[in-house]
Structure 1
């Protein structure tokens, strides 16, 4: 899930340039780094850490710039340790290949918690050292054995308010109710959050969702397919299907909420009701060249709330440290998936379930939506 979401964050940054929210000078500096100044190692097989260096592997492009500004540069000032940004993409398979090489060149990875847990149980990830990383600086329930939460996003309902008058959807039952809220719908192509949405709409209580009843969820979606105009794979697709009037509602990433409001002149709105929260995390490859302790110190340094606010401003990622909530102004809080007022209306995805079931569940989901 993380790779697709992270790539979408980069697209959002490009839109900020087009809007004038990011200076062209700054954009030129970023582009020069990415196209000309980046070492060949970053473009090919990834950065290799030297002494007193760490390699942080993310999903490329402007994400590296954001991570460097928020976390890398401050860590260098604090410790003297350089953090190289590697944008080659830490898929689960790539992390496994790094470990199995016997001499990994990566240290810290931006990873789905369920992937980190699966790899960790195979002996490929370092357990998070909670004597260095502060669990008290995480939202309750979002610190795992092999992954430390670093940001959040949500799958939420966006809707065309011009088509419904005073009516506002209040959850997934309304999303699946085309009599009360007429029009076509759009769902996420890669399954995450869609099973939960279908089950909630079918009457399953939020606290009884897991383990997910996939047969029931897939039946709900299959029976609803005549009302689904598209299954989107990227954030821009989820926007366009609403902006061009193809759909009256879509389940979208929360990072797209403010963009879709602006692009529609506030015609397309969104609600947090029964949104589905998904966490991103940092993990450390076992036997990493920069050393486990330094990697844990980097993760701990990234828990500073002011640094996480920078990531929120640049990529729309909800802060992992609840202390960051007080640093956001009301407009920022409105768009923050884990602001207490927004989070209280939502349901977190169960990472333990995804760790065990995501692959087979996605295969079955793909067959349903392709039939």
Structure 2
């Protein structure tokens, strides 16, 4: 879920600052609104007088790296003020905005499948692809009502003190507790986990969709006794692995990278058989800041310089492949969206999630609770 991943990104940023991996200036650039926005809200300041474009993300103050990567440059280039609202654009919250008759949000950072759902409900307006250059992203990353803002992956990580260089590389390996003994950790919110179960059960990668949910849940029943925790935050997944409580984990690539660094490569990982996902920009119907500025902002946010900045701060892969021309070899190797790493991964199917998410998640959570 973007809610969890984006909150996790800010934790990563804080950890980098504590560890001296980024300097104070860079940290303050990324986190600049953390104090200012809540203070303004408590002081009763009205933003409406300035008619800002309101960009809504998932973390309260949690993705104010957006400011450094995107919104400051947009305001300088256009003169249009931007306010970042971290209320979290869940599908329900976006629906409530429109139902109120007075939406206060303009551009929202939603799950790619949510853009499909809310678009067909006519809650989002069609993107203006005369302004936004659709071909800046791969065809699968753009729809009528959403275009990818960044990408992230679910990967396998393992403890090399237990398995050396030869850790699990396939999801069948992940399920093989005889060859790779030890406790596991998996994601609580289903994304990628049903796919992992089906691959472990022998379903070919190109035949995953539509997902056979009952078959996947049956396979998860097999591994459940060996799962110490179904994590709901990246910090939890990192702690489980760094402390050696689990031998193998299905975790975000941003956390896996930190684990390798913090453990002197004791915890290892790869993009092999990982699952890549994306978040999308979308615009509410009747947005108060106007359609034209909203479309201008999205076009600006797709430019390589800003996408590289977000990658450097948070580790999210750029949606615009032109960003790769600005990357050095080390950055390319770490980029979940590089051509070489994409070849190793499987893309989560946004259309399937748009059509099936709520029902499948209910089944998944019910199964975990038994």
TM over 0.5: same fold? Answer: yes
CA distance in 1, matches of 2:43, 2:271: 40
State the match for 1:357 in structure 2: 356
Is the deviation greater in 319-328 or in 165-174?
165-174
Asked whether the equivalents of residues 57 and 106 of structure 1 are also in contact (C-alpha less than 8 Å), the reply is: yes
Is the deviation greater in 246-255 or in 175-184?
175-184
State the match for 1:318 in structure 2: 317
CA distance in 1, matches of 2:188, 2:276: 17
Asked whether the equivalents of residues 61 and 86 of structure 2 are also in contact (C-alpha less than 8 Å), the reply is: no
State the match for 1:9 in structure 2: 9
CA distance in 2, matches of 1:32, 1:77: 16
Q: Against the structure 1 CA distance between its residues 48 and 106, is the aligned structure 2 distance closer, same or farther, given a 3 Å change threshold?
A: farther
CA distance in 2, matches of 1:200, 1:287: 43
Asked whether the equivalents of residues 60 and 85 of structure 2 are also in contact (C-alpha less than 8 Å), the reply is: no
Q: Are 1:152 and 2:151 matched, yes or no?
A: yes
State the match for 2:296 in structure 1: 297
CA distance in 1, matches of 2:237, 2:139: 31
Asked whether the equivalents of residues 32 and 64 of structure 2 are also in contact (C-alpha less than 8 Å), the reply is: no
Q: Are 1:206 and 2:202 matched, yes or no?
A: no
Q: Are 1:170 and 2:169 matched, yes or no?
A: yes
Asked whether the equivalents of residues 29 and 65 of structure 2 are also in contact (C-alpha less than 8 Å), the reply is: no
Secondary structure of 2:325's partner? helix
Secondary structure of 1:141's partner? helix
For structure 1, the 5+ residue unaligned runs are none
For structure 2, the 5+ residue unaligned runs are none
State the match for 1:247 in structure 2: 246
Q: Against the structure 1 CA distance between its residues 168 and 142, is the aligned structure 2 distance closer, same or farther, given a 3 Å change threshold?
A: same
State the match for 2:79 in structure 1: 80
Q: Against the structure 1 CA distance between its residues 144 and 43, is the aligned structure 2 distance closer, same or farther, given a 3 Å change threshold?
A: farther
Q: Against the structure 1 CA distance between its residues 363 and 29, is the aligned structure 2 distance closer, same or farther, given a 3 Å change threshold?
A: same
- Within 5 A, what are the aligned runs for 1:207-286? 207-286=206-285
State the match for 2:53 in structure 1: 54
Q: Against the structure 1 CA distance between its residues 136 and 3, is the aligned structure 2 distance closer, same or farther, given a 3 Å change threshold?
A: same
CA distance in 1, matches of 2:22, 2:200: 40
CA distance in 1, matches of 2:70, 2:17: 22
State the match for 1:331 in structure 2: 330
4+ long deviations beyond 3 Å: 22-33, 39-52, 60-64
Asked whether the equivalents of residues 276 and 347 of structure 2 are also in contact (C-alpha less than 8 Å), the reply is: yes
State the match for 2:98 in structure 1: 99
Query: TM-score w.r.t. structure 2 length?
Result: 0.94
CA distance in 2, matches of 1:31, 1:192: 28
Q: RMSD between aligned alpha carbons? A: 2.1
CA distance in 2, matches of 1:53, 1:211: 42
Secondary structure of 2:125's partner? coil
Provide Cα deviations, 1:153-172, integer angstroms capped at 9, x if missing partner: 00000011121134232221
Secondary structure of 1:182's partner? coil
Secondary structure of 1:125's partner? coil
Q: Against the structure 1 CA distance between its residues 66 and 256, is the aligned structure 2 distance closer, same or farther, given a 3 Å change threshold?
A: same
Q: Against the structure 1 CA distance between its residues 354 and 44, is the aligned structure 2 distance closer, same or farther, given a 3 Å change threshold?
A: farther
